Amino acid sequence: MTQGLWLSQAEPVHRLSGRVRFRCSFRDSGPADWVALAAEAARFDGVEASRASAHAQSLVLACDPTVTDASRLRDALLALGQPNPSIANEGAQDHGPRNALLASAAILFGIGWLPRAAQLAISTMAAHSLLHEAGEDLAQEGITSRVLEGLAVAISLARGDYAVANTTGFLLSLGEYLSESTARRSDILLRDLLRPVHPSVWVTRGGQEVEIPADAVVIGDTVVVAAGSVVPVDGRVLSGIAGVNEAALTGEGALVEKTRGARALSGSVVQEGRIAIYAESVGAGTVTARIAEYVERSLAAKGRMQLESARLADQLVPTILRVASGAFLISGDWRRPASVLQADYSCALKLATPIAFRFAMYGAGQSGILIKGADALERLAEADTIVFDKTGTLTTGVLEVTDAIAFDEHFSPDDLLCLAASVEEHYAFHPLAMAVVEAARATGRNKHFDHQEVEFIVAHGVASTMDGKRIVVGSRHFVEDDEGIDCSAHRPMIGKLLDEGKTVLFIGFGGRLLGIIGLEDTLRPSAAATVARLRELGAQRILMLTGDREDRAAEIADMLGLDGYHADLLPEDKARIIEDLGESGACIAFVGDGINDAPALARSHVGIAMNRGADIARLTADIVLLEDDVAGLSDAVMIAHEVMEIIRVSFRLTIGLNTSILAGAALGALSPLATSVLHNGSTIAILLNVLRHRIGSQRHLAAISSP
Q: Which residues are catalytic?
A: 389
Give the whole-angstrom CA distance, residue 339 versus residue 624: 47
Contact 548, 391 (CB under 8 A): yes
Say which amino acid occupies 457: I
Give the whole-angstrom CA distance, residue 493 versus residue 518: 10
- Rounded to 5°, the CA angle 183-187-192 comes to 155
- Parallel/antiparallel/unpaired status of strands 606-610 and 395-406: unpaired
3-class secondary structure, 240: strand
3-class secondary structure, 299: helix
Phi, psi at 489, each rounded to 5°: -65, -20
Within 8 A by CB and 6+ apart from 555, the residues are none
Distances (CA, A) of 558 to 393, 528, 534, 551: 16, 10, 17, 11
The residues facing 199 across adjacent strands are none
Burial label, 78 (beta-carbon count in 10 A; 0-12, 13-18, 19+): middle
The residues facing 469 across adjacent strands are 466
Contact 49, 21 (CB under 8 A): no
Which residue intervals of 79-161 are DSSP H helices?
A: 85-88, 95-110, 116-140, 145-158
Say which amino acid occupies 629: D
DSSP secondary-structure letter at 612?
T
Distances (CA, A) of 642 to 295, 373, 629, 630: 23, 16, 21, 19
Give the whole-angstrom CA distance, residue 287 versus residue 189: 18
Give the whole-angstrom CA distance, residue 556 versus residue 542: 13
Q: Please state the three-class secondary structure of 162-231 as a single string.
A: HHHHHHHHHHHHHHHHHHHHHHHHHHHHHHHHCCCCCCEEEEEECCEEEEEEHHHCCCCCEEEEECCCEC
Phi, psi at 517, each rounded to 5°: -125, 125
